């Protein structure tokens, strides 16, 4: 148990050190930029996306109820039905159900 606590403490300290190093590097970089026309407004360009929300991809499920993790698996989810498999969607029936409800 002591080794796990020590490991977790070391991980937290390492993450904090990495965060501080990234922050110091970013601060140094931003301090060297200017917001003038002669530098093509490099300070504005560097900071324009700071307040933008992160875009996340919603999770996708495969036919076997597992999560699609790789790009190839995600592509398989959206692959058009070629009619050779057992799954043949009844699109017309689904449309009628939607219109009736």
- pLDDT digits 0-9 by tens, 15-68: 999 999 999 988 888 888 777 777 777 877 777 777 777 778 778 888 788 888
How far, in Å, CA of 2 to CA of 69, rounded? 34
Is 59 in contact with 48 (CB distance < 8 Å)?
Answer: no
CA distances from residue 95 to 2, 71, 83, 99, 100 in whole angstroms, order as listed? 60, 30, 19, 6, 9
The reply to whether the predicted model has a pTM over 0.85 is no
What the block records as the tokens of 75 is 């592509």
User: What pLDDT digit, counting tens, does each position of 84-94 carry?
Assistant: 666 655 555 55
As a whole number of Å, the CA-based R_g of the chain is 25
| Selection from 12, 14, 39, 43 nearest residue 26 by Cα | 43
């Amino acid at each position: 148990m002591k080794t796990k606590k020590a490991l977790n403490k070391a991980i937290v300290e390492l993450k904090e050190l990495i965060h501080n190093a990234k922050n110091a590097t970013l601060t140094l970089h931003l301090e060297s930029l200017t917001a003038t026309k002669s530098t093509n407004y490099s300070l504005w360009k560097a900071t324009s996306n700071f307040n933008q929300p992160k875009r996340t991809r919603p999770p996708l499920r495969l036919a076997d109820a597992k999560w699609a993790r790789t790009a190839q698996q995600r592509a398989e989810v959206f692959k058009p039905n070629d009619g050779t498999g057992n799954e043949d969607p009844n699109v017309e029936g689904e449309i009628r159900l939607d219109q009736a409800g």
